[in-house]
Structure 1
Amino acid sequence: MFGVEWRLVFIAKTPGCDKSSFQSLPIYGVVTRLLLLKDRMYKKALTSLTVLFFMMGFITCLNDILVPYLKAIFALTYSQAALIQFCFFAAYGLTSIPFSKLIENIGYQKGMVVGFALAALGCLLFYPAVLLHTYALFLGALFVLASGIVLLQVAANPCVSIIGPKETASSRLTMAQAFNSLGTFIAPFFGAYFILSGLTNSVYAEGVVYPYFLIAMVLIVIALVLSRLNLAGMETNAPDESTWQEVLKEKSLLFGVIGIFAYVGAEVAIGSFLVNYVMEILHVPETEAAPLIALYWGGAMIGRFIGIFTLKAFAPAKVLMVHALLSVLLLLVSMQTVGVIAIGSMVLVGLCNSIMFPTIFTLSIKGLKAGQEKKGSGLLATAILGGAVVPLLTGMLADRIGLHHAFVLPVICYTYIAWLGINHLKAR
């Protein structure tokens, strides 16, 4: 229908056309209103998705504060503390495909509303965990919270990709991810002030109750507002009769699934242990080390805003390859040095992380048929399980050889991502 409207507008703008006569036609007013309606719907959808990405980043990054906080409260080893990220990101492996099926049945908008509500429930479950002072209950609450984030991820990523031209999908998703990084930039300051500041005065975990209660209230409000918006025009009605196996047979998607696993695993492993890494090298307390996490995630935010333009100017695969190779170089420098150089090079990896997720995601689903995006998104979201596996393995390695050299696992992950970029360039 919109194709007819655009042709009519084109005719109206054609030299020699009697515009006054055309504007007098009844169809002119209808066409104008429909085009304005579509534009308003697009802006509402993109604004809603931007807020969604901000909250996802904010909540996920708070785990980097919970790791040192609960490690101190419960006197955990590195591998035990890594269970925080393991339980959070394990939700991606267990729920992504079921949630993608749910999205197929109820649509993107309702899926996002349910996701916000589920995440709010997870935040509220921190209260009984604090009352009983049980580490296992914290892990359970995190799993519920993460399940809500998974549902939001499965709905949001393909939605951003398909609401505009395919040619600018990487740039558009990078913009949305930039606001995700804004959330990750603010979260460490929030966590340091409201959570870590209570470590010196208490041996209990009550410092997390009010921050997560506040987050729950914000999520509930967002869910209510989102449920009242009319975003029906952003839904795709293309039928998808393909099986999961058929979708996964697409090599670009299969390689992308491994790429997302490697990227998220490396990024989360660094973020999870960065506070302890800074404390170990610079000999400073948690409250002084925590703001450096903000620099790590802030680099990703800046890089994503820059990436909006670089991904338009250069081939996305080439940008991905360069960022991955720089990440490998910076990690190797950090592992072989001490002091400010070791910390600075580690923090700069955040800048290189910036465009990786949206670029891998859009390159992976680019070759899928219409209607297969939901299944593809579900499989790619499942790969975020890397955020559970790689940090846990890094923690176990840190207990054996020390944290300073345990980051060899992220080096391997970024090496694969560099190969992925090279492979896409060859395919072109």
Structure 2
Amino acid sequence: MPRTETVSEGLDLKGTFKRLLANRNYHEGVIAQMFYVGAQIMCWTFIIHYGTEVFVQLGMTEQAAEAKSQMMNIYAMIIFCLSRFICTFLLKYINPSKLLMLLAAGGMFFTVLTIFLDGVAGVYALVGISACMSLMFPTIYGIALTDTGDDAKLGAAGLIMAIVGGTFLPMAQASIIDMNTIFDSFSATKASFVLPLLCFVVIAIYGKRSQQVN
């Protein structure tokens, strides 16, 4: 949370809302946070569907494929935690907005591989996305609240409410997966990861646009 020099007795809700809405860096940060949460939920939820489809094609039973996919999900979370320490260290040397843009670019790269690579390679690419997501939430949070002063009290609530992206975006991805195949033969599960890809594009754009603030 940003440090504020003054302590106000109460919140000027009307004035705070007006200032926050006029603050491009803030409201774009809320949007980026919404897409980030959506991407994280999608990548962690549907790794089970993705992995099961791949491992069944490689000859596993559906039960064994689901079990292995769940392990891949655990590996993704472990990588997420380890990467957070690494990225936090990098913040000492790299501008937060630039690091966010680079992480989003990495997420885009791994997501494209997830969509187009066949077999286990695609599963590994999906797991690798977690390394790029590790520091996105707190980085977007901090960037969006830069120079908001006492308005950060209410602004922080808006950034937390952005987790709504974790509801409708996974539902949209599930609708694509239910199609089974698209364009006659392409896996709908693989194609559905175009939604996380678009999320990372939004985050990368925010990282680029917010560099002038940081």
TM-score above 0.5, yes or no? yes
Instruction: Answer whether contact 1:262 1:417 (CA < 8 A) is retained.
Output: yes
TM-score by length of 2: 0.86
- Higher mean alpha-carbon deviation, 250-259 vs 298-307, is at 298-307
Contact 1:252–1:367 at 8 Å: present in 2 too?
A: no
- C-alpha displacement of 1:286: 2.3
Per-residue deviation, residues 156-183 of structure 1 (Å, max 9, x unmatched): xxxxx25xx79xxxxxxxxxxxxxxxxx
Matched length:
196
Match of 1:241 among 4, 7, 12: 12
Answer yes or no: is 1:414 the counterpart of 2:200: yes
Q: CA deviation at 1:277?
A: 0.9
Question: Does residue 268 in structure 1 map to residue 41 in structure 2?
Answer: yes
Question: Corresponding residue for 2:60?
Answer: none
The separation in 2 between residues aligned to 1:339 and 1:391, in whole angstroms, is 23
Indicate the structure whose relative CO is greater, using CA pairs within 8 Å and at least 6 residues apart.
2
- Which residue does 2:59 correspond to in 1? none
Alignment-derived partner of residue 88 in structure 1: none
Structure 2 counterpart of 1:357, from 130, 133, 137: 137
Q: State the Cα deviation string for residues 12-35 of structure 1 (Å, max 9, x = none).
A: xxxxxxxxxxxxxxxxxxxxxxxx
1:287 shift after superposition: 2.3
Distance of 2:122 and 2:88 partners within structure 1: 29
Q: Which amino acid aligns with 2:12?
A: E
- What is the deviation of 1:426? 3.6
Please give the alpha-carbon distance, in whole angstroms, between the structure 1 residues aligned to 2:41 and 2:72.
15
The partner residue of 1:389 within 150, 168, 181 is: 168
How far is 1:413 from its partner? Answer: 0.7
How far residue 361 of structure 1 moved from its aligned partner, in angstroms, is 0.3
Alignment match, 2:51: 278
State how far apart, in whole Å, the 2-side matches of 1:403 and 1:245 are: 42
Change (3 A) 1:302 1:238: farther
Q: Deviations over 1:283-313 (max 9, x none)?
A: 2432222111111111211111112211121
Q: How does 1:226-375 map to 2 (within 5 A)?
A: 237-239=7-9, 240-243=11-14, 244-283=17-56, 284-370=64-150, 372-375=151-154
**Alignment deviations for residues 116-147 of structure 1 (CA, whole Å, 9 cap, x no partner):** xxxxxxxxxxxxxxxxxxxxxxxxxxxxxxxx
Q: Percent identity, aligned pairs only?
A: 27
CA shift, 1:237, in A, is 4.4
Query: Does the Cα contact within 8 Å between 1:323 and 1:353 map onto a contact in 2?
Result: yes
Matched residues in 2 for 1:285 and 1:347: separation? 16
Change over 3 Å in CA distance of 1:311–1:238 after alignment to 2: farther
Distance in 2 separating the partners of 1:404 and 1:273: 10
**Using the alignment, how far apart are the partners of 1:375 and 1:280 within structure 2?**
44
**Structure 1, gaps ≥5 residues long:** 1-160, 167-235
Q: Show CA shifts across 1:81-115 (max 9, x none).
A: xxxxxxxxxxxxxxxxxxxxxxxxxxxxxxxxxxx
Match of 1:376 among 135, 151, 155: 155
Q: Is the CA contact (8 Å cut-off) linking 2:114 and 2:193 kept in structure 1?
A: no
CA distance in 1, matches of 2:67, 2:49: 11
Provide the C-alpha distance between the structure 2 equivalents of 1:269 and 1:397, rounded to a whole number of angstroms: 12
Distance between the aligned counterparts of 1:255 and 1:315, measured in 2? 18
CA contact (8 A) 2:51 2:65 kept: no
Secondary structure in 1 aligned to 2:139?
Answer: helix
- Counterpart mapping for 1:6-21 below 5 A: none
Equivalent residue, structure 2, for 1:108: none
The TM-score with structure 1 as length reference comes to: 0.44
2:80/2:131 contact within 8 Å kept = yes
Higher share in helix: 1
**Separation in 1, partners of 2:68, 2:201:** 32
8 A contact 1:307–1:355 mirrored in 2: yes
Which secondary structure does the structure 1 equivalent of 2:147 belong to?
coil
